[in-house]
Structure 1
Amino acid sequence: MTSPQPATLDEALVRIRAVFDELAKGAAERDLAHEHPYALVRELADAGFGRLRLPREYGGFDVDLPTLFALLAEAGQADSNIPQIWRGHFTTTEILRREQDPDVRHHWATAVGEGAVFGNAQSEPSALVAGVESDTGWGVITTRIRRDGSGARMVSGTKFYSTGARFADHIRTAVLDDEARRAFVVVPARHPGVDHVDDWDGIGQRQTGSGTTILTDVPVEPLGDIGRATESLRGLDSFVQIVHLANLVGIARSIVAETVDIVRGRTRTSRHALTQDATADPDVLAVVGKLYSRKVTAETLLQHAAQRLEAAHEEDREEAFSDTYIETSAAQVAVIEAVLDAATIAFDAGGSSTARNRVHLDRHWRNARTLASHNPVIYKPRVVGDFIVNGTRPVSGYYVGRTSVDVAATDRPAANDDLEKVTA
């Protein structure tokens, strides 16, 4: 850490928002230059960003979920890579809040309270799946744990979609345990056996570090088994999706703000326009009005989903969490439609000049489209419709491949395709 951690939430928010301001200043240029915001991610950690959901007993601020997601939307407006970089960290924090092993919870919650950052490395490259080890219901996992001569557990394997790992202190990675079951362990992110390959070639979200992580005889950290019990995982399938919804809300806000700047800066419109003053052109103003409506739609649905998940945690019943997944899935469909539409029609407010690289408006569509490809939205209308018509409750994807699931006999899991990238 480069500076003392703030003691109160108010102090933290001042510092966090100052970092957001710095992130916003260079977000468009970093997108073009493929420059990762390493220093600013560290500054967020030092400002207490990673402690937002941590219980107070460990030095956290224990904010509720609507507050967390509102702040993630602010982060997404500054730089949409940021919520995705931190998604694995906040997922780990959620697990720690419900961790059933008190020693594991204390050890890692204390580390987060001192500023530690978690990254993600769970999915594997499709090229590896043609062979092999064990299909857990989440696809083939080739990453294995072995014991060295002293009995220490060592992890080797190759991961992709390892978002946030290159910015992190610790990585929570999916492995096959000694009984060939899917499990998660914590490994050090900066161990010599960890190779962070900067090969993410997505059209958007280019600075999330979502490329390959190669693990070669990397030791499992002490007390490195997090979230073994399904009780620790309740609500996570909705949580990880709502992080993306918050990010999309941030993108929608950026689209509105940047389009307004473009309109105010225009010196002419079109020969078909009713006026050559863009700020008085009714057709241009209507475009901005549509953008604002799409933003309000996304914001309202984010708030709804966040409140539903908060309420589910208060109820702490499996049915409440599956109901929340339905609400989150419905929100996902509508938010994606709204934000992608906004990212497309924004160009109508500025004419052909908005297609230039230096305007950077295209990054919003690319980033929103990339986020929309996670947890594939194509399956969500069917999941929602099956619940509305038949009462079919989707079982959490985090229970797939586990032996300690306790769900009602009338429940059945959604198709694996719907769940395959819940944590990617």
Structure 2
Amino acid sequence: MTTAPLSAPRPSPPQPEALDEARVRIRRIFDELAVGAGERDLTGEHPYELVQSLADAGFGKLRVPREFGGFDVDLPTLFELLAEAGQADSNVPQIWRGHFTTVEILRQETDTDVRAVWLRKASEGAVFGNAQSEPSAQVAGLASGDGWGSITTTVRRTDAGDRVVSGTKFYSTGSRFADYIRAAASDGEGGRTFVVIPARHPGVLHVDDWDGIGQRQTGSGTTIFTDVPVEEHGEVGRYRESLRGLDSFVQVVHLANLVGIARSVVAETIAVVRGRTRTSRHALTQDAAQDPDVLAVIGDLHVRARTAEALLAHAAARLEAAHASGSEDDFVDAYVETSTAQRGVIDAVLGAADRAFDAGGSSTVRSGIHLDRHWRNARTLASHNPVIYKPRVIGDYLVNANGPVSGYYAGRPGEDQS
């Protein structure tokens, strides 16, 4: 475990101006990420340079509106590219989840100055990290009724009148790779606020202590803030209007990542089968590539991957439609359909990650084959936003028309209430 300040701010090279050019560069970096993903999982190496290369290739401005220099892709396009990233290395979509979440909030931000400042920075290559959860809520039993837990991180005024942030965060995914962090803090009045702070300030320390069974290179450990200044125009997503559809968005990012894992499971299991020199004494043939039972396993994996892809596409389309209409009812519908996809995708992908071992026998459990990382990573992703509650949420909506209420609305006023 290492504790270290983040490096000094880095210059951002020129961004690609055309989406087609960016796609080529982005996919080239995905290829590089795929080559070392298995080894990085074993060694614990973080893909710093490749994440920065993605930022330089325009990955972070995919959803930035054109008026601010972005590509303004629709949600289905974004989630498909995130699935491609997940196939290369499933740590990558999770590293970027905080960034794309911040961009989604900024797209709906009601403060025009805040919106313009940060979307332009994103289009210039700036990367946002996330710091919401705190260890104190679990350790001290301070969890609140809204599901977020208590916030002990504070914003205070210095003698000079500047606002600074101090506190400790956990699950601070992506912050280790970021230029700015969107951090949750106490507003001093019993509520929460989100502020943007510089990720590479000397007062930011990142502890590499994430001990999960999967997603080990996402930087999801502890981050400690000591009098870190709040950036100018640094209060983001103050009102509910900026947060519509956010519950669905953050979950669909995980679903895209799971789809990527399923695709990787299929591709890597095929490679294992093609490389086998024998099967089993009970097999109908000693040629693994001609063994009917082994081929049936590959077919099953393919079906599961296609199932996950279809559910992802459906959820992405419903969320895109909700944003197009702006109807709160459509956002509720998108939440329900995302919950439906969540249950189906998780079942399909975890099943594929488990079944893959049947295609290769005992040799597939060797660490050098790297198949185990897919189940561990999928299981870790599947544990976010617990799926056990989703069938009840879906059923209550279908039977009683009780729509789920966004957790992001808790403690947030509407703009007309300011």
Give the 5 Å matches for 1:66-81.
66-81=76-91
**Corresponding residue to 2:321 among 285, 296, 311:** 311
The CA deviation string for residues 228-252 of structure 1, in whole angstroms up to 9 with x for no partner, is 1111100110000000000000000
SS at match of 2:223: strand
Determine the C-alpha separation between the residues in 2 that align with 1:61 and 1:287: 40
Asked if structure 2 preserves the Cα contact closer than 8 Å seen for 1:134 and 1:141, the reply is no
Q: Is 1:30 aligned with 2:36?
A: no
Cα distance change on mapping 1:271 and 1:137 into 2, 3 Å = closer
Q: Is 1:56 aligned with 2:66?
A: yes
SS at match of 2:368: helix
Determine the C-alpha separation between the residues in 2 that align with 1:138 and 1:125: 12
Q: Which residue of 2 aligns with 1:205?
A: 215
Q: Is 1:9 aligned with 2:19?
A: yes
**Corresponding residue to 1:381 among 387, 391, 403:** 391
Give every structure 1 segment of 4 or more consecutive aligned residues whose post-TM-superposition deviation is greater than 4 Å: 126-129, 131-137
- Deviates further, 135-144 or 215-224: 135-144
Give the 5 Å matches for 1:343-382.
343-382=353-392
**Corresponding residue to 2:161 among 140, 151, 164:** 151
Please report how far the alpha carbon of residue 402 of structure 1 lies from its aligned counterpart in structure 2 after TM superposition.
2.4
Letter in 2 for 1:27: A
SS at match of 2:194: strand
Q: Which residue of 2 aligns with 1:277?
A: 287
Please report how far the alpha carbon of residue 180 of structure 1 lies from its aligned counterpart in structure 2 after TM superposition.
2.3
Cα distance change on mapping 1:346 and 1:184 into 2, 3 Å = same
Determine the C-alpha separation between the residues in 2 that align with 1:128 and 1:271: 52
Q: Which residue of 2 aligns with 1:99?
A: 109
User: Percent identity among equivalent residues?
Assistant: 73
Determine the C-alpha separation between the residues in 2 that align with 1:224 and 1:388: 40
Please report how far the alpha carbon of residue 71 of structure 1 lies from its aligned counterpart in structure 2 after TM superposition.
0.2
SS at match of 1:141: coil
Q: Is 1:130 aligned with 2:144?
A: no
Determine the C-alpha separation between the residues in 2 that align with 1:401 and 1:191: 29
Q: Is 1:401 aligned with 2:398?
A: no
Asked if structure 1 preserves the Cα contact closer than 8 Å seen for 2:146 and 2:407, the reply is no
Q: Which residue of 1 aligns with 2:100?
A: 90
The CA deviation string for residues 148-203 of structure 1, in whole angstroms up to 9 with x for no partner, is 10111111111000000000000001011132211100011011111011100000
Letter in 2 for 1:15: R
Asked if structure 1 preserves the Cα contact closer than 8 Å seen for 2:166 and 2:227, the reply is yes
**Corresponding residue to 1:193 among 177, 197, 203:** 203
SS at match of 1:39: helix
Asked if structure 1 preserves the Cα contact closer than 8 Å seen for 2:96 and 2:129, the reply is yes
Give the 5 Å matches for 1:179-258.
179-258=189-268
Asked if structure 2 preserves the Cα contact closer than 8 Å seen for 1:166 and 1:196, the reply is yes
Please report how far the alpha carbon of residue 4 of structure 1 lies from its aligned counterpart in structure 2 after TM superposition.
2.3
Determine the C-alpha separation between the residues in 2 that align with 1:135 and 1:192: 35
Q: Which residue of 1 aligns with 2:7?
A: none
Determine the C-alpha separation between the residues in 1 that align with 2:178 and 2:406: 27
The CA deviation string for residues 225-280 of structure 1, in whole angstroms up to 9 with x for no partner, is 00111111001100000000000000000000000000011100000001111111
- Deviates further, 44-53 or 103-112: 103-112
Determine the C-alpha separation between the residues in 2 that align with 1:166 and 1:392: 40
- Deviates further, 148-157 or 351-360: 148-157
Q: Is 1:334 aligned with 2:344?
A: yes
Cα distance change on mapping 1:385 and 1:58 into 2, 3 Å = same
SS at match of 1:171: strand
SS at match of 1:353: helix
Q: Which residue of 2 aligns with 1:415?
A: none
Asked if structure 1 preserves the Cα contact closer than 8 Å seen for 2:29 and 2:53, the reply is yes
The CA deviation string for residues 331-357 of structure 1, in whole angstroms up to 9 with x for no partner, is 000100000000001000000000000
Determine the C-alpha separation between the residues in 1 that align with 2:415 and 2:152: 24
**Structure 2 unpaired stretches of 5+:** 1-10
The CA deviation string for residues 66-119 of structure 1, in whole angstroms up to 9 with x for no partner, is 000000000000000000000000001111111100110111111111110000
Letter in 2 for 1:83: P
Please report how far the alpha carbon of residue 128 of structure 1 lies from its aligned counterpart in structure 2 after TM superposition.
6.2
Cα distance change on mapping 1:36 and 1:151 into 2, 3 Å = same
Determine the C-alpha separation between the residues in 1 that align with 2:115 and 2:290: 58
Determine the C-alpha separation between the residues in 2 that align with 1:2 and 1:155: 26
Asked if structure 1 preserves the Cα contact closer than 8 Å seen for 2:91 and 2:218, the reply is yes
Determine the C-alpha separation between the residues in 2 that align with 1:222 and 1:135: 32
Letter in 2 for 1:64: D
Report the RMSD for the aligned CA atoms in angstroms. Answer: 1.5
Letter in 2 for 1:44: L
Q: Which residue of 1 aligns with 2:277?
A: 267
- Deviates further, 227-236 or 128-137: 128-137
Determine the C-alpha separation between the residues in 1 that align with 2:297 and 2:45: 32
Letter in 2 for 1:363: R
| Aligned residues between the structures | 406
Cα distance change on mapping 1:404 and 1:392 into 2, 3 Å = same
Q: Is 1:171 aligned with 2:208?
A: no
